[in-house]
Amino acid sequence: MSFEYIKALHIIFVVTWFAGLFYIVRLFIYQTEAMERPEKERDILKPQLDMMASRLWYIITWPSAVLTLIFGTWVLSYRMGYLEMGFMQAKLAFVLLLYLYHFGCHKLFKEIQKGRTRWTSTQLRIWNEASTLLLFAIVFLIVLKSTLSMVWGLLALIGLGVTMMIAIKLYKNYRNKNS
């Protein structure tokens, strides 16, 4: 298989993995909020949301994470010299953080499927933004191929993080006013 096909497959599975990560935490939020509903509503919502989360997690998100790793390693085998470059080392560090985030989501998934949650929906909304920050870091590093640009990128990430926190707070206030 040619390098371009392998790289294309890597990118496709990165996209589907991120789609799964973005949506699974949204489902965690809905599941958490469903657990706070009256029993009649909870008995309808919880099984449906649990089924949706289970299908997303095991049919899309986990396979995409594994295939991303397989094709990413394959791509890197064509570009072994990249391992010595600072931008690639930084990118791989962010990818490691992304896999740790994935495992954190798996732990949350297991708890919520059992009907237990220790996180509020607001905390989960904040957790959901971690994958967005990692996406920005990884994409900018791989496109710019520069650790010097990473300094500016990190400053932009901090700004993005602060902006997202403000947006979450504003949304929470809006939601509370309109409830």
Q: Distance between CA atoms of 76 and 142, rounded to whole angstroms?
A: 12
What is the tens place of the pLDDT at every residue in 8-26?
A: 999 999 999 999 999 999 9
91 is in an annotated binding site: yes
Give the model's confidence band at 148: pLDDT under 50 very low, under 70 low, under 90 confident, else very high.
low
Question: What range does the domain containing 171 cover?
Answer: 3-177
Percent of the chain with pLDDT over 70: 97
- pLDDT score, position 56: 98
Percent of the chain with pLDDT over 90: 64
pTM listed for this prediction: 0.85
| CA-to-CA dists, residue 28 to 50, 87, 111, 125, 167, angstroms | 9, 33, 10, 9, 19
Mean pLDDT of 152-169: 80
Alpha helices in the chain (DSSP H): 3-35, 39-55, 62-78, 86-113, 121-144, 148-177
- pLDDT score, position 178: 83
* Cβ proximity of 122 and 172 under 8 Å: yes
Task: Give the number of domains in the chain.
Answer: 1
- pLDDT score, position 128: 92
145 is in an annotated binding site: no
